[in-house]
Amino acid sequence: MKINILDTTLRDGEQTPGVSLSSNEKLRIARTLDDIGINIIEAGSAITSEGEQQAIRQITNQGLDAEIASFARSLQKDIDSCIDCGVDTVNLVVPTSDIHIDYKLKSTRLQVQSEMVDNIEYAKDHGLKVELSAEDASRTDLNFLKETFKLALDAKADRLCPCDTVGVLTPEKSFDFFSQLSDLNGKLSVHCHNDYGLAVANSLQAIRAGATEVHGTINGIGERAGNASLEEIIVALNNLYEGQYSTDIKLNQLYNTSILVSRSTGVYIQPNKAIVGENVFAHESGIHADGVIKNASTYESITPELLGRHRKFVVGKHTGTKGLNNRLLELGIEVNKEQLNNIFKQVKDFGDKGKCLTDVDLQAIADNVLEKDMEQKVNLEEVTIVSGNKITPTASVRLKIDDDEILAAGIGLGPVDAAVNAVNKCINEFADVNLDEYHVDAITGGTDAFIDVIVKVSMDNQIISARGTDSDIINASIEAYLTGVNRLFENADKL
């Protein structure tokens, strides 16, 4: 059974509190949704504003393969703005529960039905497809809902969508509800909200009971707890139902789409989010990682390749020295026992701070330890920094250069600048070293990230790159700088 996907990231998703997309962002998302095979894109709500209309028009002008829909209330002026924007389909939203009819519309059941029929006919007369969405259908009197759907089909509505607007279905109720509506012989869509975390489960049960179209958003964004998460539904339909269902979606592009939507909306993806979360294919060295290395299916039910993603191994506080050594060997890093213990200790320190380390982190620590083992001409003995608001950043450092101790202080525009200036004062007593480039990265993101500093330093005609890694930006900077300086001296000795 082929299941069509209606993506409402640009309409229901944009109703996420705090989210507002520019027309260019909407266009870029719409193109991506079209590329990955989404069948119907709900591009917005044309009546909302002039800006929204421009955004929808830009999308309808692209000649995308996907059917383009706009939300409309059961009002002629809403349908007129859909017509103006050139959409293929109107998602005509008609409240059907007594709560909505009495309190929101201050209308009557009969009035709602007769306006609905007029508006479906109006939209059809203007060449639009009509998807009739019954708002709050899951809290609507079932007989009234069926009667309303029959009227909609008589008026030539193309599809029917009984919406679980406030997310109160359970998987069992969803199956029963859709089973009872399936004898109307209309094409049924399902639209679930995630107030109880059941939106995906409820959508799947509706499909089992006969729905052939499913609404949702990328990353499950949307009002309150959000909409059903499309990537979860799509991958579940593909993997868990023994080939009963198919979709047109390119699964290996879902992850990139998720990142695009997250970046554009500013809505962060939790690391343990199914399918697209950062941790989905991460294994911490230990029993699980050992199993996955031997055979990935031991602890993975989804392969990263299916989703265009990569498996990653992290080390953390559950990693033993043996596992750590194996990981290092796999990364092409050979260490002796003392170096291994040194790296192990740093990994545990980070683990105790609640952090896992990726391969890149581990490589940085190892590089650092291996470099430290070389005998250095210049060594840092001590550094003190004073900085803050309305204080000139000041640093004092004590360096050991061969057997001499040299002490100096420096000021700078910021604490790193002050520290480097202080180090420079010490070194420049006997050599002319310049810092040509300075680059800083937070390796794993977050304020507790490992800081990786890469510098270029020069002396005479030599230029050398060096790096320093530490959880403290000042330490990482001085370390990078001194590593560079020591390499310059080593090379000078060789000359």
Strand-strand pairing, 187-192 and 159-164: parallel
Select from 5-13, 108-116, 429-437, 483-491 the region that touches Mn ion (CB under 5 A).
5-13
Q: Specify the pairing of strand 433-442 against strand 404-411.
A: unpaired
Please list the residues that pair with 187 across neighbouring strands: 159
**Beta carbon of residue 274, minimum distance to Mn ion (angstroms, whole number):** 21
Cβ 139 to Mn ion shortest distance, Å: 14
Q: Which stretch binds Mn ion (CB under 5 A): 10-18, 143-151, 284-292, 385-393?
A: 10-18
**CB nearer Mn ion, residue 165 or residue 258:** 165
Q: Which of residues 327-366 bind Mn ion (CB under 5 A)?
A: none
Give first-to-last CA distance, the chain, whole Å: 74
- Asked if 470 interacts with Mn ion (CB under 5 A), we say no
Q: Which stretch binds Mn ion (CB under 5 A): 6-14, 171-179, 237-245, 361-369?
A: 6-14
CB 289 within 8 A of CB 316: no
Shortest distance (Å) from residue 178 CB to Mn ion = 17
Could you identify the residue written with the tokens 């070194």?
A: 427
How far apart CA 342 and CA 425 sit, in angstroms, is: 31
The residue among 12 and 452 lying less far from Mn ion, judged by its C-beta, is 12
Dig out the tokens for 164 from the structure.
């679980």
Q: Which is nearer to Mn ion, 12 or 25 (CB)?
A: 12
Residue 29 CB neighbours (<10 A): 25
Closer CB to Mn ion, 12 or 361, in the complex: 12
Return the number of the residue (265 or 424) whose C-beta is nearest Mn ion: 265
Q: If you compute the radius of gyration of the chain from its CA atoms, what whole number of angstroms results?
A: 31
Q: By rule CB under 5 A, what string of x and - marks binding of each residue 167-186 to Mn ion?
A: --------------------
> Could you tell me the smallest distance in angstroms from the CB atom of residue 362 to Mn ion?
44
Residue count at the site for Mn ion (CB under 5 A)?
A: 1
> How far is it between the farthest Cα atoms of the chain?
96
Q: Provide, rounded to whole angstroms, the least separation between the CB of residue 57 and Mn ion.
A: 23
Report the residue number, 4 or 227, with the smaller CB distance to Mn ion.
227
CB of 163 to Mn ion, least distance (A): 6
Evaluate whether 323 touches 285 at the Cβ level (below 8 Å): yes
**What distances in angstroms separate CA 80 from CA 50, 89, 90, 255, 268, one per listed residue?**
13, 12, 10, 37, 36
Alpha-carbon span 386 to 391, nearest angstrom: 8
Applying CB under 5 A, the span of 9-17, 121-129, 344-352, 371-379 interacting with Mn ion comes to 9-17
DSSP-assigned letters across all residues of 38-62: -SEEEEEETTS-HHHHHHHHHHHTT
Instruction: By CB under 5 A, name the one of 3, 5, 12, 167 that touches Mn ion.
Output: 12
Q: Is 170 helix (H, G, I), strand (E, B) or coil?
A: coil
Closer Cβ to Mn ion, 12 or 231, answer by number: 12
**Window of 4-12, 34-42, 115-123, 378-386 that interacts with Mn ion by CB under 5 A:** 4-12
* Cβ-contact 395, 453 below 8 angstroms: no
Pairwise CA distance, residues 261 & 268, whole Å: 10
Pick out residues in 356-415 that bind Mn ion (CB under 5 A). none
The residues near 229 (Cβ < 8 Å, ≥ 6 apart) are 194, 199, 200, 216, 217, 218, 219, 220, 274, 275
Positions in 206-245 near Mn ion (CB under 5 A): none
Which residue's Cβ lies closest to Mn ion? 12
- Closest to Mn ion by CB, 220 vs 468, is 220
- Pick 133 or 346: Cβ nearer Mn ion: 133
Where do we find the tokens 């059974």?
1
In the complex, least distance from residue 93 CB atom to Mn ion, rounded to whole angstroms: 9
Distance of closest approach, residue 326 Cβ to Mn ion, in angstroms: 49
* Nearest-approach distance from CB 133 to Mn ion, in angstroms: 8
**What CA–CA distance (Å, rounded) separates 115 from 101?**
13
Token pair for 334: 């050979």
Site for Mn ion in 72-91 (CB under 5 A): none
- Residues that bind Mn ion in the complex, under the rule CB under 5 A: 12
